[in-house]
Structure formats: C-alpha cells, structure tokens
Chain A
C-alpha cells in the first residue's frame, strides 16, 4: 500500500465511522454534590483524567484532574464538585462522524468530550483522542483482513467479472491403476473449493462424490481426467476416462453390485457403493458408457444459497 492510499483510506474511515463506534461506554460518573476529595479514588483506580458530572441522568458538567489538583493546592478538597466543575460543556453527539470529532479536538484542545445521544441528550459515553486512534487502527486491520479473504472468494470473482457467463475451471488428471495417487484430485478440489469460500457442506459433498468417481477411474480404467466447473449457481464436474467402459450401466448403479478385482477390495473399496454414493451426494448425476469410448460421468451440485449465504 502506498502512502497516499493509506491516508485516503484513513480519511475515508473517519468519515464513515461514528463517535459511538470508538467511544468508551460504561464510564465512571460523579454526582455534583460529592466532594472533590472523593475524586481521588475514581481518578486513580480508573486511570482517567476527567469525569463527567451527572445529575438525574443529565450531564451537568465535567471535572478534570487539573480541577482536582487546583483544589489540593488551595487546600479545598472538601468543596463540592458542582462548585469546581466546568459547566461550559462542549459535547459530541453519538451519531456524529469521527472527522467532526477530530475537528472539535483541534478547535478546543480538550483531552476529552462527553458524548450524548441526539434524542434525549443523555450521556452515553466519553471520547478521547486515543479512542479515535485505536478505533481507526482496529478498523483498518479488519478492512485489510476482509480484503485479503475477499480476494480469493469465488463470489467476488463472479461479481466483478463482466461477462454473460462466468465459470472457473479446474482440471485434474488421474492415473489408471495407481492407488498411491488416488484421491489427489478429490483432495485438491476440496482445498480449492474451500479456499474459494464455499460452505463446508457443499465442499464435503463435492469432494466425497469426486473421490468415489476418482477411485473408479483408478480402479477400472487406464486413466482419465476430472474437470470441475464452478459457476455462480452450481458446481458441475465431468469425469471422462479412456475405457474400457461399463457393460451394464443399470446393473452398476445397484447398491452392492461390484465387479471390483481383489486388489481394489483390499484397499477398502469395491463393495458396490461407489456409484450409489455419488448419486447420494450430488443433485444430478448422468452416466453414459460404451465399451469403445469409455465412461462419461457428469455430476451437478446446486449452490442455491451461495450468493446469499456468503
């Protein structure tokens, strides 16, 4: 980030943010009929330099550490707060923008301003220069993090790219008969979809169904490829292989039916659950196969809540 951009972002934030976003709430207050001496504890314990004076919920003045010291010098700590407090009050409204607060600090040179609500003029907080600084810095940090995350979100890409149709395409190549590498496409796709900000449930369904199909390509074929298309409303995944194809597709879809050789079963698959599992975890599944051309499987998972559910 260059310096000009940082400055302008901070300026932007001081316009956007309100006094109530950074002010201290739950503040200590004193009663006008308390003695100045009783301030000692409050100032010391709370480590603050000024306290609003409130009578029946109404802000009537403010008394600062300077007023307190003055009273000590004059050996007058038994005086009542109402006689020593500042009554010429400059206040800020809670819904005022920070930039206005900054101008007030410059104009008056005060250390703090009481904050009142515009509606009933009741005291709702107090604001110091360091509250503003801390508030803006925190906000900057959040903005920066959001920006970092947003950069990878698919919704961001879909929203910002101008075209009639937008999709992201991920291609994975699957080696036949190599069980050490089986699962790499599914785990790769899982990481990718997760990173793009899709919901864990969608990611899980997409990766389980892809994994089962990938195992099939490894177990039964000479290899193939998996192509995933992420669109704003759905994930479409296409699995193609080099054959030999499924002789009886209908039979293959029956749960428990399997033609898996022993070595596939030893690895924990081949129980005739692969295709039924793929069907279970996807919204649409189309399987065509011919002995010459091999198998073509297409799955669709709908992303109905994708745009809103972000």
Chain B
C-alpha cells in the first residue's frame, strides 16, 4: 500500500518532515508497549500508537520501522519530529482511535505482523 493511500485512509496529517507519498508499506503493527513492537515489528512497516514520547521514535529507529502514526489526535513535540527526521522516519498524525485506524488499514488490505513470529 502506498503511503499516500494510508494517509488518506487515516485522514492523517504530516507534521513537517520527510514524506514520500509513493513509499510502499506492506505491513502494519500497533501497540503502546514498545517492547512488543521491538519483538514482532517488521522492518519497513508502519507503527500505529497512542503512546507519545521520544522512545516511540527510538523504537521505530532501532526496529527499522519507516513510518509512525500517532493516533487519538496526539501531536508529537518538536524534539520527536527532529529525531524522526534525523533517522529517516516519517511521522503521521490521525484523530482516529487506535481501533478504527488499525481496522481501516486492515480492511483495505494492509497485512498484520503475525503474533506467531514472536517466538521465532
């Protein structure tokens, strides 16, 4: 799925920073527990979270997650945006709930990180 589709489906905004509308995203994951994302997040996926602190960006960075979408209308601070830009991570913000944003993407064909992979 192209990033521009994801942006439209989630009715998302892009705070100033890196944004490549043609970027291909195949997998989505969502959690407010960063250890879960580290455990089963896939490289190149999008992370949806309502957690709001710099560790979300650090988690995305070390786990090679390319796009982070903050849901529930949460807005990242300048420090987080700077860190995301430095590490080539795209930030989206959406007013939708976590449940609805995941549901919309899943319904439109975005694949999920499989829980089975956790033990691999």
Binding site for B on A (CB under 8 A): 179-180, 182-183, 186-187, 190, 200, 204, 207-208, 210-212, 215, 267-269, 271, 273-274, 276-277, 280
Would B59 and A268 count as touching, CB distance under 8 A?
yes
Q: Within 8 Å of chain A (Cβ to Cβ): is B111?
A: no
Would B62 and A211 count as touching, CB distance under 8 A?
yes
Using CB atoms, name the residue of chain B closest to A191. B87
- B87 CB to closest chain A CB (Å) equals 7
Would A269 and B63 count as touching, CB distance under 8 A?
no
Would A186 and B62 count as touching, CB distance under 8 A?
yes
Binding site for A on B (CB under 8 A): 32-36, 38-39, 43, 49, 51, 53-56, 58-59, 61-64, 87
Would A207 and B59 count as touching, CB distance under 8 A?
no
List the B side residues contacting A208 at CB < 8 Å. Answer: 38, 62-63
Interface residues of chain A: helix, strand, loop or mixed (majority): helix
Assuming A183-B54, A268-B53, is B35 touching A273 (CB within 8 A)?
yes
Q: Could you give 18 example pairs across A and B, Cβ below 8 Å? A: A187-B87, A190-B61, A204-B43, A210-B62, A211-B38, A211-B58, A212-B35, A212-B38, A267-B51, A267-B55, A268-B35, A268-B51, A268-B55, A269-B34, A269-B35, A273-B35, A273-B38, A277-B39
- Closest 7 pairs (CB-CB, A-B): A183-B58, A273-B35, A268-B34, A207-B62, A211-B62, A268-B51, A208-B38
- A242 CB to closest chain B CB (Å) equals 22
Assuming A200-B43, A268-B34, is B58 touching A186 (CB within 8 A)?
yes
Assuming A204-B64, A208-B63, A273-B33, is B38 touching A183 (CB within 8 A)?
no
Using CB atoms, name the residue of chain A closest to B119. A280
CB within 8 Å: A-B pair count:
71
Max chain A C-beta neighbours (<10 A), residue from B35, B54, B59, B63: B35
List the B side residues contacting A187 at CB < 8 Å. Answer: 58, 61-62, 87
A268 CA to B54 CA, complexed, in Å: 10
List the B side residues contacting A186 at CB < 8 Å. Answer: 58, 62
Using CB atoms, name the residue of chain B closest to A182. B55
List the B side residues contacting A179 at CB < 8 Å. Answer: 53-55
Would B63 and A271 count as touching, CB distance under 8 A?
no
Would A273 and B58 count as touching, CB distance under 8 A?
no
List the A side residues contacting B64 at CB < 8 Å. Answer: 200, 204
- B35 CB to closest chain A CB (Å) equals 4
A204 CA to B45 CA, complexed, in Å: 14
